[in-house]
Amino acid sequence: MEYYNYIKALHLIFVITWFAGLFYIPRLFIYHIEAAQKEEPEKSILINQFKLMTKRLWLIITWPSAILATLFAVILLIMMPSWLQQGWMNVKLFFVLLLFAYHIKSHFIYKELQNDIVKWSSHQMRIWNEGSTLILFSVIFLVIVRNAINWIYGVLGIFLLAILLMLGIRLYKRIRSKNPNA
């Protein structure tokens, strides 16, 4: 238990850097997708730059952070096995599985774009971008609150947040259609 706080701090640091990567990678995907619609030579220059930026973010920051956050989480669970008997932890682990599903799907999108396969629109990618935000809010509220009754309010809050995010995306799309440089 003497190392508990160090392990917890390392876990949190790598969770933060993992989420930083997951927040930024869809933005790079959006820019890449929009660059694919430009004329040459701008198109090639931008796509090559976005491929490089994406590769560095994904392979040097995001993947290592995901692995290290998971490693330190497993060590914490080994140190505190009683957490696995608590309902909030099981729900949190469900959200972590969702986060890994989001991460893996983002990896497939990354591979497609690296191979010049564009299947998503920038609007679809903006919606995809909010997935990690919803998971983050869910996990943070769950870990802090931990009370079953308050989970109901938390779930309602997540749905409200999702609705607000979707409305924000629609508003941005409207603004952008009126002013393409926005």
pLDDT tens, residue by residue, 106-135 = 999 999 999 999 999 998 999 899 889 888
Report the distance separating Cα 163 and Cα 168, nearest Å.
9
> Confidence class of residue 87 from pLDDT cuts 50, 70 and 90?
confident
CB 54 within 8 A of CB 102: no
CB 32 within 8 A of CB 113: yes
Annotated binding site: 11, 92
Contacts of 110 (CB under 8 A, 6+ apart): 25, 29, 54, 58
- Crossing angle of helices 131-145 and 122-129, in 10° steps, is 10
pLDDT tens, residue by residue, 54-73 = 999 999 999 999 999 999 99
CB 88 within 8 A of CB 96: no
> Confidence class of residue 152 from pLDDT cuts 50, 70 and 90?
low
What pLDDT score does 182 carry?
64
Query: What is the residue range of 153's domain?
Result: 4-178
pTM of the model: 0.83
Mean pLDDT of the chain: 90
Higher pLDDT, 146 or 22: 22
CB 11 within 8 A of CB 73: yes
Report the distance separating Cα 37 and Cα 34, nearest Å.
5
> Confidence class of residue 100 from pLDDT cuts 50, 70 and 90?
very high
Annotated binding site for heme: 11, 92
Please report, as a single letter, which amino acid is at residue 90: N
Report the distance separating Cα 30 and Cα 126, nearest Å.
7
Number of domains in the chain: 1
